[in-house]
Chain A
Amino acid sequence: MTNIDIRKVVQEELNNIAPEVDMASVDPAADLREAIDIDSMDFLNFITAIHHRLGIDIPELDYPKLVTLNGAVTYIAAHLKSGKD
């Protein structure tokens, strides 16, 4: 899975939570909670969806690493790789 594919998955799952947001216009370095107005339940649903779709485990302690679009892509890419080793 390339980073482009991962970004697409992340954007899709965020769009499931915030359907009215044009993800292409969201600053990839912005805090998603502010940028697309999601609350803690939304964020947990996002983590759950990524977990189910890509099979990676995201412990609570790592949540801060996924609060931006770029951060989420980087984190997921790293964990997809390490999962394959």
Chain B
Amino acid sequence: MAEFRMPSLGADMEAGTLVQWLVKPGDRVKHGDIIAVVETQKGAIEIESFQTGQIEKFLVDVGTKVPVGTPLAEIRAESEAKPAAAAAAPPPKAPAEKPAPAAPPPVQAPVRPPSPPPVAPPTPVAAGARTSPAARRLAEERGIDLSTITGSGPQGAITYADVERRLGAPAAVPEKKRAPAAAPEKKRAPALNLDAMRTAIAAAMARSKREIPHYYLEHQVDVTPCEQWLAQKNATLPPDARLLIGVLALKAVALAARRFPAFNGFYRDNKFEPSEAVHVGVAIAIRGGGLTAPALHDVDRLTLDELMARMRDLIQRTRAGRIRSSEIADPTITVSSLGERGVEALYGIIYPPQVAIVGFGKVVVRPWVIDGAIGPRSVVTMTLAADHRVSDGHAGALFLAEIGRLLQEPDKL
């Protein structure tokens, strides 16, 4: 029997509150399924299962705040058929990618009264329909009756995407309900508690400044080739398939990070653990003042089109308060960009336990010398803040130069 535990979503997290189960005992779940929602300082996080199997029972009631590592539920692995059903059980499926850890010897199960039925989540839900908090919020905002939606989530749970799909069908959306005139102050996703987020940012940044000996470098890069390539590519594409220059920057950073491992990984317990995978944390500003940097996974291995779709999805979910646990827990390096307005350079603060953050300022047109002649070019200032316990300025300079070099050949990204 495997235990599904309160995950650690960052070094600064000590406890979380179980807000909602999206499954019930008896449901089958697989690795990566979203099975619960947990409230943390970073907002409501959708928690993914690391196991494949069947939910055996819940160990914690909804509404309970528990320390990181507390078992929340028991999950019976696929291969562990229930003793009674063993004879009738179908042959076990092919082993899951990551088999659940072997069950501990069947010592006495923790003595616990049978869990009472989960306490109803704070907001009433249409009877029978399990609904993710973000989906419920969206439905409320847009005046959608949840009972009219068929859920596509685990065991028929209504997901945000289901509600979005309904919104996409214009006929079903009462026009007057879409008008946002009333009570605009109520519109922000309640899952995003900006005060708590500010506290979390303050704690992480104070720890970073206290513990990490930062050094800073900057490098200007001519990104005219990126702009020309994008203009040509996007000209033939509908808006939802177009790429933004930020995607090229993310990919270039990820490829460079693979080549320079001293900037990709974690510094923990007085030593650096480089990461094989490149999970790039994307700093996303929250309307109303907040910031979080969830990970895009395996950025070095995604095509630009895939990366664009993932980034769009991630930004949308983050701003709606729907980050997943894996996205919060494991960025290996962070990229921050203040967009096309604002400033020309930003000097980041490393998010511990990471060891580097790359910043991109806005693109500006500057006189630039090419082949001995001066001409107008689009130039961006890249910066690197990196951890002196792990690398030196010399390596940092090579890393930044590599990013700049990669941006000269956008078609190869």
CA distance A61 to B187 in the complex (A): 33
Which residue of A16, A20, A53 contacts B287 across the interface (Cβ within 8 Å)?
A20
- A27 CB-CB contact with B under 8 Å: no
Query: What 1/0 mask marks residues of chain A from 8 to 52 whose CB sits below 8 Å from any chain B CB?
Result: 000010011011111110000000011001011100110110011
Are A12's CB and B340's CB within 8 A? no
When chains A and B are docked, how far (Å) is the Cα of A34 from the Cα of B287?
13
Give the Cβ gap from B215 to chain A, nearest Cβ, in Å.
29
A19 touches B180 (CB 8 A): yes
The residues of A that contact B287 with a CB separation of less than 8 Å are 18-20, 37
Q: What is the CB-to-nearest-CB distance from B192 to chain A, in angstroms, rounded to a whole number?
A: 12
Assuming the contacts A40-B340, A41-B315, A51-B238, asked whether A19 and B187 have C-beta atoms less than 8 A apart, the reply is yes
With A12-B178, A41-B315: A60-B234 Cβ-Cβ less than 8 Å: yes
CA A19 to CA B185, docked complex, whole Å: 8
Contacts A40-B246, A41-B315; A60 near B235 (Cβ below 8 A): yes
- Among residues of A, the one whose C-beta sits closest to the C-beta of B142 is A16
Q: A33-B341, A39-B339, A40-B339 are known contacts. Are A60 and B188 too (CB-CB below 8 A)?
A: no
Within 8 Å CB of A51, what residues of B?
A: 238-240
Residue among A16, A21, A44, A53 making CB contact with B244, cutoff 8 Å: A44
What separation, in Å, do the CA atoms of A61 and B238 have in the docked complex?
A: 13
Q: Interface size of B by Cβ–Cβ distance < 8 Å?
A: 31
Interchain CA distance A59-B235 in the complex, whole Å = 6
Q: Does A77 count as interface, using CB distance less than 8 angstroms?
A: no
Contact status A34-B187, CB under 8 Å: no
B244 and A12: CB pair below 8 A?
Answer: no
CB within 8 Å of A: which B172-210 residues: 178-181, 184-185, 187-188
Majority-rule SS of A interface residues: helix
What's the minimum C-beta distance from B135 to chain A, rounded to whole angstroms? 16
Q: Is B242 an interface residue (CB 8 A)?
A: yes
Q: How far is the CA of A22 from the CA of B183 in the complex (A)?
A: 10
Chain B 58-84 interface mask (CB, 8 Å, partner A; 1/0): 000000000000000000000000000
- In the complex, which residues of chain A have a beta carbon less than 8 angstroms from the beta carbon of B288? 20
**In contact, B238 and A57 (Cβ under 8 angstroms):** yes
Assembly CA distance A60 to B244 (angstroms)? 11
In Å, the complex CA distance between A1 and B141 comes to 26
Shortest Cβ distance from residue A13 to the other chain B in the assembled complex, whole angstroms? 10
Interchain CB contact (< 8 A) of B239 among A39, A40, A48: A48
State how many angstroms separate the Cβ of B29 from the closest Cβ of chain A: 32
Cβ of A58 under 8 Å from chain B: yes
The answer, yes or no, to whether B343 is at the interface (CB within 8 Å) is: no
Q: What is the distance, in angstroms, from B223's C-beta to the closest C-beta of chain A?
A: 14
CA distance A9 to B315 in the complex (A): 23
> Distance in Å from the Cβ of B237 to the closest Cβ of chain A?
9
Interface residues of B in 217-255 (CB under 8 A from A): 231, 234-235, 238-240, 242, 244-246
Query: Is B165 an interface residue when CB atoms closer than 8 A count as contact?
Result: no
Cβ distance A55 to chain B, nearest Cβ, rounded Å: 11
Complex Cα–Cα for A33 and B178 (A): 23
Q: Which residues of B contact A60 (CB under 8 A)?
A: 231, 234-235, 242
Closest CB in chain B relative to A6 CB, distance in Å: 14
Q: Are A40 and B235 in contact (CB under 8 A)?
A: no
In the complex, are the beta carbons of B184 and A21 less than 8 A apart? Answer: yes
What residue of chain A has the Cβ atom nearest to residue B285's Cβ?
Answer: A39
Report Cα–Cα, A42/B341, bound state, in Å: 13
Q: Is there a chain A Cβ closer than 8 Å to B405's Cβ?
A: no
Cβ B185 vs Cβ A44 within 8 A: no
Identity of the chain A residue whose Cβ is nearest the Cβ of B312 in the assembled complex: A41
Cα–Cα distance between A33 and B341 once the two chains are bound (Å): 8
Report if B170 contacts A (CB, 8 A). yes
5 A-B pairs closest in CB distance: A19-B187, A48-B239, A15-B180, A39-B339, A47-B239
